[in-house]
Chain A
Amino acid sequence: MKFKRLVSFFLTGILFGIIMSKSEAISWFRIHEMFRFESFHMYGIIGVAVLLGVITLKVWKLMGFRTKDGDEVRNYVMPLSPKRHLLAGTIFGLGWALIGACPGPIYVLLGQGFLIFIFVLIGAVAGTWIYAAIKHKLPH
């Protein structure tokens, strides 16, 4: 990949880090509040993002939009396996609510200087390792 393209990804990352901070979507309190149904804030953020995402991707498809490299927009759909999706999703959700951060925010909070997230990242990498080790025993 060309260096210039990597810089584009780097700049997009900076923007994402700022958006997640300023929107408070990385706040443990906001996540807790969301799971207690005591505020509309997080539902509003995700709702607007998805609504706009659905509409724009539909329009792009109709217009035959191409990426910077001239490719069609890929829509990789993983094989349907409700048992796997629900089980994996539930395990993820247990961790998400406990530490109040999903993978994106883990990096943002690290950048903000919350050192406890070093341990969260170590845990996440360990969890990934455990998955690789017991993958063949799980329903897929």
Chain B
Amino acid sequence: MSNVQTIVEILQKPWHWSLAGVMIALILFLLTYLGRSFGVSASFKTICNAFGLGKKYEYFDFDIKNDFWQIAFLLGVLLGGLISVTILYNPEPAKISQATIDHLATDFGWNYPQGDGYLPVDVFNIYNWKAIVIALVGGAFVGFGARYGNGCTSGHAITGLSHMRLPSLITVIGFFIGGLIMTWLIMPFIFGN
């Protein structure tokens, strides 16, 4: 019993980035071994298919049986998230850099920590209509971009770059162009004081 407790205590602590990198590579290897390519955003297509959009759009016209593996994987991901905030709950918020903390306080008027270090919940909560609009619009950009580009961070940045695919490299450069434009040029107008 004490051994189990020790293991749980170790797992509760935040992981070093190098361990996290090794573990994400392990996910890539496990899914490759199981005969599938690691990617998450194709699930948005599966959801559209489940809503019956396959009758209207050729893009959603496929046999959902081929995506059962992804549904099983994503149900696991949901449960993994739940386990992380229950059994493996860690009260210590992410140790982000002081520069970022200062910037959030000065430019946005946000306190850190909040949302267990995962999310600025003072703004991103379901009681704030502005946050709901941001969530819908941000989500739409992610969904549209991922499907237009045929992959997201897992499919292009992890899987694609590991296979040294040129299209993936260009797509990842795009991720950063978009991310930098949003962070440096647009966000000050959305969250700025």
Give the residue name and chain of the B residue nearest to A76 (CB).
Answer: B37
Q: Which of B19-60 contact A (CB under 8 A)?
A: 19-37, 40-41, 43-45, 47-48, 53, 57, 59-60
Q: Is the CB of A68 within 8 A of B33?
A: yes
Give per-residue flags for A28-42: 1 if the beta carbon is below 8 A from chain B beta carbons, else 0.
Answer: 111111111011111
Contacts of A138 on B, CB cut-off 8 Å?
148
Give the residue name and chain of the A residue nearest to B174 (CB).
Answer: A89
Contacts of B163 on A, CB cut-off 8 Å?
53, 57, 75, 77
Q: Which of B61-75 contact A (CB under 8 A)?
A: 65, 68-70, 72-75
Q: Is the CB of A132 within 8 A of B57?
A: yes
Distance (whole angstroms) from the CB of B187 to the closest CB of chain A:
7
Give the residue name and chain of the B residue nearest to A93 (CB).
Answer: B178
- Interface size of A by CB at 8 A reads 116
Give per-residue flags for A79-108: 1 if the beta carbon is below 8 A from chain B beta carbons, else 0.
Answer: 111101111111111111111111110111
- In the assembled complex, the Cα of A13 lies from the Cα of B159 at a distance in Å of 16
- Interface residues of A: mostly helix, strand, loop or mixed? helix
Q: Give the interface residue-count category, chain B.
A: 35 or more
- In the assembled complex, the Cα of A91 lies from the Cα of B75 at a distance in Å of 27
Distance (whole angstroms) from the CB of B90 to the closest CB of chain A:
8
Of A99, A104, A133, the contact of B153 (CB 8 Å cutoff): A104
Q: List 18 A-B pairs, Cβ < 8 Å.
A: A5-B69, A12-B76, A28-B124, A50-B161, A53-B25, A67-B34, A68-B34, A69-B35, A85-B149, A93-B180, A94-B178, A95-B145, A103-B152, A111-B78, A112-B82, A121-B139, A124-B146, A127-B140
Q: Which of A3-56 contact B (CB under 8 A)?
A: 5-36, 38-42, 44-54, 56
Give the residue name and chain of the A residue nearest to B79 (CB).
Answer: A14
Of A22, A75, A92, A133, the contact of B20 (CB 8 Å cutoff): A22
Distance (whole angstroms) from the CB of A43 to the closest CB of chain B:
8
Answer yes or no: B105 CB below 8 A from chain A CBs: no
Give the residue name and chain of the A residue nearest to B176 (CB).
Answer: A93
Give the residue name and chain of the B residue nearest to A21 (CB).
Answer: B84
Q: Is the CB of B73 within 8 A of A124?
A: no
Q: Is the CB of B27 within 8 A of A78?
A: no
Of A32, A81, A88, A122, the contact of B100 (CB 8 Å cutoff): A32
